[in-house]
């Protein structure tokens, strides 16, 4: 029997129907997990950015009504994070209280769902295929930007939605002055993620092929919100963190002569970041490399007249290639994934003849659908682990943290977060009045402790800390104990142990408070 006899129109229709049905089932299962994990959503992650956004939103929602809001106000005008995402959270009344945390998570859930809706609209406008819409949506939701990072408070879903809206509006032939609206939306996106600034030259170049006056005006409009905010802001202050350029310079200086190792780390991190996080690492590298190669072929073919989507992907790849923290590329590359994936799908399918039964098109589509559905299945397997799905009542609020969802032992990491939160809440009973504590995870401790908290001078080190007391949190794996974070054993001649939180004497510490000896 020939392939023509096997791949009849009826057979292809049944295959597409089966893929659509399975895709819809996987999509519904992911949505259920996204809404139920950590319900009623009264906790946020322990990361610097997530808690910074929360403090900033608190200051915008309720003014300087608490120490957390006061610190958020400081970050708004002296920090490195742009104000767009905190403004969005503040519209929902986000704050550091229990109700405010619930509102913050509701805002994030709405941002993710709105992004998914815009993604479906974008893919349909580019391909006109319902099957492609489902597959690209599954791939994007399985990407680390969404699972697990967007279960916490991160700005990428909002930024991605705005970026998709820019692409949709810029190419619209029905909307009057679509180019101006696209520029305005891009300006808003730059206030959500400063990475969007690299897209302004891409938009200007794309518009310049039609009209230089429009291109220049669009560039001014897109840059104006960031310029105005930069003028209003004060100089960097405590807790602001260095600029990304300064951090990149530091990283390059520390690389010494190991340029090949540095380039290899950056390259493999970027390639791997384009694939869903639940896949095995070798498969992520292969899939990411295949996507980049296919996109490079498309970009070369369009070199004389590239589309706006292609220019946006190229500009984002250029900045990510030199990003000073390659470990975060899994999250930061997310916004370009839908654009890149749709471009590759269009390039592959448009290059075939009109009969898919006689071309590699059916092979590409079938294998691509298989990989995407496998990615979502493995993602759901992580989200539906018994330790997450049936967590003890006191651990459930912490099960939404990205570090828990991505851990080999989710129960242990949730126990660490619970123990550290309980211990931080009781620090006022352990630390004398007028004393402060130092900790590497100051933002997390500030969520629970009324005691003044300072970052350690040198992260994960013992010496030269500004406070007499040091609060330790074990975020390493169970087999490492504190060794992955703090130098152990405890230097007995310099510090004494005030208290330690541990599930059992045989298991690693969850949290501890130590005091410097005179």
b/e for 226-253, b at 16 or more Cβ within 10 A?
beebeeeeeeeeebbbeebeeeeeebee
Length of the chain: 518
pLDDT digits (tens, 9 = 90+) for 281-320: 999 999 999 999 999 999 999 999 999 999 999 999 999 9
| pLDDT score for 109 | 98
Say if residue 423's pLDDT is above 50: yes
pLDDT for residue 140: 98
Q: pLDDT grade, residue 487 (50/70/90)?
A: very low
- Looking at residue 105, its pLDDT comes to 96
198-224 pLDDT, tens digit per residue, is 999 999 999 999 999 999 999 999 999
The domain locations on the chain are 7-235+242-383, 407-516
End-to-end CA distance of the chain: 87
Question: Over 80: is that where the pLDDT of 254 sits?
Answer: no
pLDDT at 510: 74
The pLDDT > 70 percentage for the chain reads 85
Using one digit for the tens of pLDDT, what is the confidence trace for 4-55? 555 677 777 888 899 999 999 999 999 999 999 998 898 887 788 898 999 9
Q: Is residue 340 scored above 70 in pLDDT?
A: yes
What average pLDDT does the segment 407-426 reach? Answer: 85
Q: Is the pLDDT of residue 251 over 70?
A: no
Range among 93-97, 203-207, 237-241, 243-247 with highest mean pLDDT value:
203-207
pLDDT for residue 1: 45
Question: Residue 6 CB: number of other CB atoms within 10 A?
Answer: 10
For the chain, give the mean pLDDT. Answer: 86
The tokens describing 487, both together, are 């130098």
- The Cα–Cα gap between 372 and 396 comes to 29
pTM score, whole prediction: 0.90
pLDDT at 68 over 50: yes
**Roughly what angle, to the nearest 10 degrees, separates helices 98-127 and 9-36?**
170
Question: 450-467, pLDDT tens digit by residue?
Answer: 888 887 655 555 566 778
pLDDT, tens digit, 9 for 90 and up, residues 115-173? 999 999 999 999 999 999 999 999 999 999 999 999 999 999 999 999 999 999 998 88
What average pLDDT score do residues 369-383 get? 95
Does residue 259 have a pLDDT over 50?
Answer: yes
**Cα 4 from Cα 341, distance rounded (Å):** 29
Whole-number Cα distances in Å, 338 to 23, 27, 172, 297, 477: 17, 16, 19, 17, 33
């Amino acid at each position: 029997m020939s392939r023509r006899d096997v791949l009849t129109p009826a057979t292809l229709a049944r295959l597409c129907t089966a893929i659509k049905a399975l895709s819809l089932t996987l999509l519904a299962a992911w949505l259920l997990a996204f809404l139920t994990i950590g319900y009623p959503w009264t906790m946020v992650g322990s990361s610097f950015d997530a808690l910074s956004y929360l403090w900033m939103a608190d200051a915008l929602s309720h003014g300087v009504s608490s120490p957390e809001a006061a610190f958020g106000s400081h970050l708004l005008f002296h920090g490195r994070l742009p104000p767009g995402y905190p403004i969005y959270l503040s519209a929902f009344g986000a704050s550091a209280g229990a109700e405010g945390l619930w509102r913050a998570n509701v805002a994030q859930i709405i941002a993710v769902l709105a992004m998914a809706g815009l993604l479906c609209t974008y893919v349909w406008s580019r391909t006109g295929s319902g099957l492609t819409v489902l597959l690209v949506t599954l791939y994007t939701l399985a990407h680390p930007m969404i699972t697990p990072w967007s279960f916490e408070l991160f700005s990428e879903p909002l930024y991605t939605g705005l970026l998709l809206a820019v692409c949709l509006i810029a190419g619209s032939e029905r909307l009057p002055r679509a180019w101006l609206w696209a520029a305005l939306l891009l300006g808003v996106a730059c206030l959500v993620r400063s990475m969007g600034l690299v897209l302004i030259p891409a938009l200007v170049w794309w518009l310049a092929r039609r009209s230089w006056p429009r291109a220049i005006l669009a560039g001014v409009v897109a840059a104006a919100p960031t310029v105005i905010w930069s003028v209003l802001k004060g100089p960097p202050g405590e807790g602001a963190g260095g600029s990304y350029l300064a951090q990149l310079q530091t990283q390059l200086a520390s690389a010494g002569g190991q340029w090949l190792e540095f380039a290899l780390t950056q390259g493999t991190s970027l390639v791997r970041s384009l694939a869903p996080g639940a896949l095995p690492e070798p498969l992520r590298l292969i899939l990411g490399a295949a996507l980049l190669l296919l996109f490079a072929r498309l970009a070369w073919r369009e070199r004389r007249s590239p589309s706006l989507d292609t220019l946006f992907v190229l500009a984002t790849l250029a900045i990510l290639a030199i990003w000073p923290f390659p470990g975060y590329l899994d999250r930061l590359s997310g916004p370009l994934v839908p654009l890149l994936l749709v471009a590759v799908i269009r390039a592959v399918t448009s290059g075939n003849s009109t009969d898919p039964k006689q071309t590699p098109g059916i092979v590409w589509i079938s294998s691509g659908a298989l990989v995407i559905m496998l990615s979502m299945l493995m993602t759901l397997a992580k989200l539906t682990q018994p330790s997450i799905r049936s967590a003890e009542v006191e651990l459930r609020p912490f099960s939404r943290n990205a570090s828990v969802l991505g851990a080999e032992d989710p129960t242990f990491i949730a126990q660490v977060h619970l123990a550290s939160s309980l211990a931080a809440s009781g620090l006022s009973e352990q630390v004398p009045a007028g004393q402060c504590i130092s900790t590497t995870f100051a933002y997390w401790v500030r969520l629970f402790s009324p005691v003044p908290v300072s970052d350690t001078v040198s992260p994960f080190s013992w010496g030269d800390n500004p406070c007499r007391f040091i609060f330790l949190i074990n975020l390493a794996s169970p087999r490492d104990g504190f060794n992955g974070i703090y130098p152990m054993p405890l230097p007995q001649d310099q510090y004494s142990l005030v208290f330690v939180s541990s599930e059992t004497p045989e298991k690693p510490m969850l949290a501890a408070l130590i005091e410097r000896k005179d």
